[in-house]
Structure 1
Amino acid sequence: MNRILNQKRLHQLQQFHPKLENVWYLVASATFSVCNRPEEIPLIYHQALSTQNGKPIDDRAKIIHELLESNRSDSLKADSLMESINETYKNPIQYEVQITKKLREALLITYPLGGLPKAINSLSQLKSVTPSALLPCVNQDVDITNPNLNTDALFQDTLRANPKTIEEYKKVTDDGIKYWNNVYNKVSNKVFHNISKSYPDMIYFIIKHTYGPLFSFNKILNEKEKCLIIVSALVPQDVDAQLYGHLKGALNAGCDKEVVSLIQDMSIMISTWCGVRSSNKISKL
């Protein structure tokens, strides 16, 4: 499969507009993930790591070049590349930690929007080029096949709390309802009941398993960032009603109207590069 990104296109994404300086890599990665081109995400990640405040950092462009030239099926080249990555980022600064955490979270957000398999593949691609010092700490001693396993141990490494009491479970639901109302505002009840009439179990999973624990979680991404990522993940999919709802939701969250339009334009451009065609009519603010 031919690579979509080259150095020119990487710079085009990063310099798309000054107002997108802090979110371009999140939006671009979410769009590539939904377009089922996760192999482009490592380039975006390292392009974001290689610059700060719009300026290149030392010689990190070398890693970008190696990624552009590398054949990921060649294990020797892959090992050499990871040696270079680990050496460059052996003492990561807060800026690099933040970019890595935000990108992981952005790709997680895409899973109920574009599909779980795509999100898994995208996070796997990201992991394959993440410096060892920036990988999440995970307890690998847990044996999931053990019939006597304490299931709480399965999720001890997650950033999200693992609800154990009725009150904690209720809070997840309350958080989901609050986020839902923030997005849909005046039409919250209408959208809720329309989905519920189609299948009550659908709205159950949306509130309790998507809006509650996923969309309302704000320890890594803020409300505006999450809204922009959701919009970018919906643009390639020709789901006009859902896109329009989240365009309005982005405004309800306080996003600048021009920024939301720029996000759409970037996602449309990436979708075109990927050969993912949307209908001629697409919701605009």
Structure 2
Amino acid sequence: MILTPQRLIQLSNAPRLGNMWYLIATVTLTVCNQPQEIPKLYHYALHVNNGLGKPSEELYHRVTQTIESVSADINSCPYEIESGLKLSDKFRESILKTAALSGLPKAINSLMILRETTPKPLRATGDVKRQAIESFADYEAEQDRGMKFWKTIYSKISGRVINQMSSSYPDLWTYTIQHVYSPLLSFSDVLTPQETSMIVISCLIPQDVNPQLKGHLKGALNLGLDLETVRECREMAIEISKWCGMVWKAEVAKL
């Protein structure tokens, strides 16, 4: 067991992360291939957001009971539906955005386990969040959005990074902008650009990829996050990764 009552209390007390702590934890656990821990985070967050308890050992045990009851009867739902759907969407979107950064299989496993313990009224409907591309104008708008997001993150060095990727393999840059940044990472109807930035940082830390992490730590500042919030996000992802047994080759990149 990774998420003990004491560890959940520790995570929830991050002073600058607010409600982002459980999404940071969800993403880190997904990348570390520990999806079985995600239902605890999900129901813990739902309980707190619905005023059903404050972070404590007692709440942890109530959450465990709720997971068991939902697994036995998916129609039961002790939460307010509207706020519960918004929170559920944030969990699902956070995991989806890891797919391009740490692998689709891990994202699938986390989303499947989350679904199994999500009350039926809070499950995703058949409607997708992203509108279908029905014209060239739609495609151009999506690509423009992706490029704007890219340029905001990388700022003055955006062109240099594009050239480096293109010189490695022209298809690398084309794939990155057309299939990762434009339709996936820049989409902001569920997560804000700042929330997505913290998701990306949390996704990169357990993978020991300092060159990419350095760019996104600075990119978080370019997106308007303050230095202490970015540092707290980094520290939380490192701590959870350690709980999962992660060992880095060198010091994790920092600001």
Give secondary structure in 2 for the equivalent of 1:5: coil
Superposition pairs for residues 188-267 of structure 1, below 5 Å?
A: 188-267=158-237
1:4 and 2:2 equivalent? yes
Displaced runs of 4 or more, over 6 A? none
Q: Which has the larger radius of gyration?
A: 1
Matched-pair contact (CA < 8 Å) for 1:63–1:81:
no
Distance 1:113 1:190, change over 3 A: same
User: Does residue 1:162 correspond to 2:151, yes or no?
Assistant: no
Structure 2 counterpart of 1:257, one-letter code: L
CA positional deviation for 1:201: 0.9
Query: Structure 2 CA distance, aligned partners of 1:163 and 1:12?
Result: 43
Kept in 2: contact 1:113–1:234 (CA 8 A) = yes
1:37-92 CA-partner distances (Å, limit 9, x unpaired): 111111110110111388717x975542337xx8xxxxxxx6x4424664233x63
Distance 1:261 1:216 in 2: 22
Counterpart position of 1:22: 19
- For the 8 Å contact 1:101–1:220, the answer to whether it is kept is yes
Cα distance in 2 between the residues matched to 1:32 and 1:267: 9
Unaligned stretches of 5+ residues in structure 1: 71-77, 139-156
Q: SS of 1:241's equivalent?
A: helix
- In terms of fraction of residues, the more helix-rich structure is 2
- Which residue pairs with 2:28 in the alignment? 31
User: Aligned in 2, Cα 1:269/1:38: closer, same or farther, shift over 3 Å?
Assistant: same
Which ranges of structure 2 fall in alignment gaps of 5 or more residues?
none
Q: TM-score, normalised by structure 1?
A: 0.83
Residue 98 of structure 1 corresponds to: 86
Q: TM-score if structure 2 supplies the norm length?
A: 0.92
Residue type of the alignment partner of 1:99: L
Identity, % of aligned positions: 42
Q: Of 71, 78, 87, which aligns to 2:76?
A: 87
Alpha-carbon separation, structure 2, partners of 1:55 and 1:190:
50
SS in 1 for 2:238: helix
Q: Counterparts of 1:55 and 1:20 in 2: how far apart (Å)?
A: 21
